[in-house]
Chain A
């Protein structure tokens, strides 16, 4: 824990975005997680992404469950809406929030326990329902808050800090998300902001359910030689399929790759995700092959990172349910409560 508050003083040339805000305006109070926790880097990446996109902080709903990961929404976007919910139940609350106010950018922060253990059922269904949100898993393979037991994403054979091997097969949340119909699936590493920040930006702008599994080492309990989620292991075994750069509609496109290896993915708001293939055998629009690819690499002990699947024309829950176009809080009494005649009409239609 850190007791020293981060001072407000900032670099004299700190850039100001279109809203007149600096990156520092998107921060929260100083983190109380262990020093060196990967989760803090994920928070910093979210801060950077939101600041660079010039998104208004008050237009965010950040929702989390329980765990180290789920504490982190306190540490970014302090001027936004937030809900620290029940363990494993973040998807329910996020679903409610998104249905009530479709104009908020919804960020769900969860951990490997919150998503793959107690919350596995809820996770499966929010993916199915295609809630328009960015769902981030801070995945460290361990239960840090309860002092380092293996979590459900911990690889079989990797060991605890004391050297005990894990006897169970891991749940791969990326494979689950692909299988259950997520329209944007990525994996990244907390120690690689160059990759993570564009993915967060694209995930925020994606219409539909965007999922990023971030390997985020636990320095206190799972950053040792027997771990497959340590800084060293991930750096030594990760393989990026894509390099991605995210551009706003007004941005000058600055990255130029060789033709044939790069692809542009337009976002609904006109922004653009430029993907640069690092691996020839990969197609970012082929869900089945992506699943296969992820599993193959996993069986070799490799961590596949980058954008793994995207469907730029996906639909979201609001479209599927044909809901009202405006947030519920903008509807007046007459719209919300159309009266007895309307009710009778509905009842009649079921007879």
Chain B
């Protein structure tokens, strides 16, 4: 194998599994260390800088970081990264002094943001400090988009939402609430914007064409529309027996909301198997903990009604069969099942929907009705129009909206300044900083903490169900947060190897608790992986290969299960190993020194 180029910003970035998995590349280990040091404000700002909504995401994020956490591979349960983010948000101090300054003299460029959700807000935050005049158009009476309309208050208290939304609006966004754009064409003709950003989300909930659907319409609601009407106070109760159809997070929000609004019974029915449901594990657990049954492998056949009055739903019974690694569903042979229902909430997915964008404006759409975009710039085929969030690439999570926004803001800036959208983008980079403070002293807590994941305390069930605004999760307090923070393996403190200092004494090989290090003859990767002290079976994790050493061998380190305890550096007599913190430069508009 060729020697590893550790100055490629991606090499060590991949070792920080959580940060690599985060669409916004939030520097997770760094903010967890700040929490451990009780520097909550700094931890919050580090988050705010990269993901824009730490308080909201600390409660609602889909947490792509957690399944990626190295602790899953070394000991099973990941660090509670998401809930630690909330600890930073809950305990932060005054942050105004840390916020970017917005110039009073504008740069003369006007940018329109259509949709008031996370993507548009994050674009606004990136553009405002650069002197742009930013107009935000939103059909609802307040900012926040789906964060306000689709996430129930028992998961995301309104104060938390408004604090983070208003922080951005207060930076000088010119808001146009209750202002739905119904025609892009007339919008572009009427207004004179230098660039337009579309962040209108995936606003259409899917429906099912089944017998009886039309007749029973009065008793069937689309999940996200129903949640939205609850959020804005139009719907305050639901009566009788409720069936929620669908297995995603919206379904979980629907059933838990229905339970709080007075339903006699709530049941979730899913066409697929429990294991493959789209809902996050913790959302399923929370719903079940509230006494809501989830019934799987039941595709619906018919809405049963009596003269338009819904009686219930007839379900087919299937069972999953694995075929070529994929689940297929075959009839199980059981008779069809009828389940009584007075109301059905359909939460079977949502999709992009842009009927208001005329198709003759030079904005191309693909066969799934998604805009055709340049992946790197998020620019549409109409050069002044950019997309981000769910409206760009289909339904994802809030954290993706933040990531798209940073990209789009750079593009909009370059576009408005007449520069090249690709060549002039700020580059990625990495800094490596030694953490050695003295003999046997490291500037990070290198010792491995074998503690198991701490559970987030919940409010008492009866209290939780009695009020839709009562937040279910209490969050970690400072003491529990400090304990959970200790579980972080500090994967951003990298093991950096300097060939010319190594005397091949084997001290690092002998001390490594995870058998990561091997000195061996070099060969092709496939053969090398088998030859190591512990075979490197996880192909997704790289091997760190040194240049040839004095004996003609190379040092090979399998990054897979390294716990970053620093013992290799501790036991190295020549400092050939050093623990160096990697700091990645993820391009953002703030990266420009303007």
Contact = CB atoms under 8 A, between A and B. Distances in A.
Interface stretch (B233-241, B315-323, B505-513): B505-513
Contact of A44 (B506, B514, B561): B506
B514 A4 contact: no
A223 B505 CA distance: 11
Interface in B462-520: 503-507, 509-511, 513-515
Interface in A163-188: none
A5 interface: yes
B506 A41 contact: yes
A13 B537 contact: yes
Interface string A37-79: 1101101100000000000000000000000000000000000
A23 to B, nearest CB: 9
B534 A6 contact: no
Contacts of A1: 440
A37 B507 CA distance: 7
B514 A36 contact: no
Nearest to B441: A3
Contacts of A9: 74-75, 448, 450, 513-514, 563
Nearest to A48: B510
Interface stretch (B89-97, B392-400, B418-426, B567-575): B567-575
Interface residues of A, number: 34
Nearest to A41: B506
Contacts of A219: 503, 505, 573
Q: Say what secondary structure dominates the interface of chain A.
A: loop
Contact of A231 (B504, B514, B561): B504
Interface in B552-593: 561, 563, 565-567, 570-574
A35 B577 CA distance: 12
Contacts of B565: 4, 7
A40 B512 CA distance: 13
A346 B73 CA distance: 69
Contacts of A2: 440, 511, 567, 570-571
A232 interface: yes
Contacts of B427: none
Interface residues of B, number: 34
A35 B571 contact: yes
Q: Say what secondary structure dominates the interface of chain B.
A: loop
Given A35-B572, A223-B503, A7 B510 contact: no
Nearest to B75: A9
Contacts of B104: none
Contact of B447 (A7, A34, A41, A235): A7
A36 B510 contact: no
B440 A11 contact: no
A41 B510 contact: yes
A249 to B, nearest CB: 26
Contacts of A231: 503-505
B74 A191 contact: no
Contacts of A190: 506
Interface string A62-100: 000000000000000000000000000000000000000
A111 interface: no
A70 B73 CA distance: 38
Contacts of B511: 2, 6, 30, 40
Contacts of B448: 7, 9
Interface of A: 1-14, 24, 30, 34-38, 40-41, 43-44, 190-191, 193, 217, 219, 223, 231-232, 235
Interface of B: 73-75, 440, 446-448, 450, 503-507, 509-511, 513-515, 534-535, 537, 550-551, 561, 563, 565-567, 570-574
26 contacts: A2-B440, A2-B570, A2-B571, A4-B440, A4-B447, A6-B513, A8-B450, A9-B514, A9-B563, A10-B513, A10-B515, A12-B73, A12-B74, A12-B561, A13-B535, A24-B513, A36-B503, A37-B573, A40-B511, A40-B571, A41-B506, A41-B510, A44-B509, A190-B506, A219-B505, A231-B504
